[in-house]
Amino acid sequence: MKSNNINLQTTTISDFHKSLMTYYDLCKLKQKQHVGFWTKKITNLAIPEFVIPKEHVVDRTILRDKNWGSKAKWRDYMKSQGYNKHNTIMQMVDHDNMPDPLMDMLVTLPIKHPVFSLNIQPPGATVPAHEDTWRIWYDKNPELAKKYTFADACFFIVFITRQDTGHTFSAGSMSLTWEPGDVIQMPHYTNHATSNSSFTPKMLVQCLGIKK
């Protein structure tokens, strides 16, 4: 795959995962071309009562020890700016372990081939500004990733907990406010970040998939 042939319209998600730093570079170009708001509110969903078994909560700390592959340069940059495994703590409930009441709500969203991840950010944690690479979606849908491009991608965030003082979500140049159940959509190339300087956990669902 020659680099001058890589683009967000025709290069598949699968092929981009062989060259993720190229994907980041192309996202930066799209951000410079972006006009208007970075997010739009789609709807508000009624958040059901649900219970998360402890065994379904896994570590998704941003700078955890793992094989970074083609993103090693990005890992090294985050570390050079002071981020580490202690200030980027994140917990996650995987799509396959999503509580049934929550899954019943999420499947009403207008998205094909979705992969949902419940992110739990504890007090004191941050997620550095970044663009999502659809790694979780790609791992669950390797064959579909050979068919679709990022131009086909659909990206929703569903806020689960109320916004306490210190709960933040930034998208592009926007700092969001929300109520529980708010669903926002943003382009796949959006640079976004979150933090929690409150005293309560912040929960949201990342929804990755393909446009209907």
In tens, the pLDDT along 4-48 reads: 588 999 999 999 999 899 999 999 999 999 999 999 999 999 999
In the predicted structure, residue 94 carries a pLDDT above the cut 80? yes
Under CATH, domain 3-211 is a member of which superfamily?
Jelly Rolls (2.60.120.10)
Question: pLDDT band at 1, cuts 50/70/90?
Answer: very low
In the predicted structure, residue 112 carries a pLDDT above the cut 60? yes
As a whole number, mean pLDDT of residues 76-91 equals: 97
SS3 content of the chain, % helix, strand, coil (to 5): 25, 30, 45
pLDDT at 62 (0 to 100): 97
8 close to 151: Cβ distance less than 8 angstroms: yes
SS3 147: coil
Domain boundaries, the chain: 3-211
As a whole number, mean pLDDT of residues 54-71 equals: 95
Mind listing the pLDDT tens digit for each residue in 121-180?
A: 999 999 999 999 999 999 999 999 999 999 999 999 999 999 999 999 999 999 999 999
Average pLDDT score, the chain: 96
Q: How far is CA 189 from CA 18, 85, 94, in A?
A: 18, 25, 23
pTM assigned to the model = 0.95
In the predicted structure, residue 2 carries a pLDDT above the cut 80? no
Contacts (Cβ under 8 Å, ≥6 apart) of 155: 132, 185, 186, 187, 188, 190, 207, 208
Alpha helices in 7-125 (DSSP H): 13-16, 20-33, 72-80, 100-106
Mind listing the pLDDT tens digit for each residue in 174-201?
A: 999 999 999 999 999 999 999 999 999 9
